[in-house]
Amino acid sequence: MIVADNLQFGTGCATRIRVYINNRSDLQHVKLGEPFIVEEPTMKIVEEPSTFLLRAFVQSGRNASKHSWWAAAYAIAHWFETLNHLGLDWQIATRENLIRYRDAHFAPGIISPQTGRPYSKNTVRSRMLYIIQFYSFQARAGVYSGSLHVESMRSVTKEPRTRLDAATYTQRNSAQGELTSLLPRKRRATSPIRPFSGVEWDKFTEALGPLPSEQLNAQAQSCRNRLIIILTVLTGLRVSEVMRLTCHDFLTMKPDTNSPAVEQPLNVNGKGDIDRLVGIPNWLVAEVQTYIHGERARAVQSIRAAGRKTNVSALFVSNVGHSRVGLPMTKRCYQKVVENACVAAGLTKIIQRTDPITRSITWVEKPKHCFHDLRHTFAVLLYQAERAIGNPEPWKRVQQALGHKYLKETIETYISFVTVFDNTPHVVNTWDLIGQTLPGRPT
Alpha-carbon distance 43 to 34, whole Å? 16
387, amino acid identity: R
pLDDT at 177: 53
User: Of 340, 360, 347, nearest to 201 (Cα)?
Assistant: 347
Element (H, E) at 19: strand 16-21
Name 281's Cβ contacts closer than 8 Å, sequence gap at least 6.
234, 260, 261, 262, 263, 264
pLDDT at 11: 47
* Residue 4: Cβ-neighbour burial (10 angstroms; 0-12, 13-18, 19+): middle
| CA distances to 90, 127, 173 from 94, in Å | 9, 16, 21
8 A C-beta contact, residue 315 and residue 245: yes
pLDDT at 335: 95
| Tens digits of pLDDT across the chain (443 residues) | 443 444 444 445 566 888 888 776 656 666 777 888 888 888 888 899 999 998 888 887 666 677 788 889 999 999 998 998 888 999 999 888 999 999 999 888 888 888 888 888 888 999 999 999 999 899 888 888 887 865 433 443 333 333 334 433 344 444 455 566 778 876 555 557 889 988 899 999 999 989 999 987 767 789 999 999 999 999 999 999 999 999 999 999 999 989 999 999 999 988 877 889 999 999 999 999 999 999 999 999 887 766 666 668 999 999 888 888 888 998 999 999 999 999 999 999 998 887 766 778 888 899 999 999 999 999 988 888 888 888 888 889 998 899 888 888 888 888 767 654 444 443 334 445 444 443 333 33
Phi/psi of residue 53, each to 5°? -60, -40
Alpha-carbon distance 57 to 34, whole Å? 9
pLDDT at 263: 92
Strand 16-21 versus strand 2-4 pairing type:
antiparallel
8 A C-beta contact, residue 117 and residue 74: no
pLDDT at 349: 92
140 CA to centre of own chain: 30
pLDDT at 26: 58
Three-class HEC string of 349-415:
EEEEEECCCCCCEEEEEEECCCCHHHHHHHHHHHHHHHHHCCCCCHHHHHHHHHCCCCHHHHHHHHH
Alpha-carbon distance 252 to 250, whole Å? 5
pLDDT at 436: 47
pLDDT at 165: 41
pLDDT at 306: 64
140, amino acid identity: R
The pTM of the full predicted model, rounded to 2 decimals, is 0.69
User: Of 360, 342, 341, 361, nearest to 352 (Cα)?
Assistant: 361
8 A C-beta contact, residue 35 and residue 20: yes
The angle subtended at Cα 218 by Cα 212 and Cα 223, nearest 5°, is 30
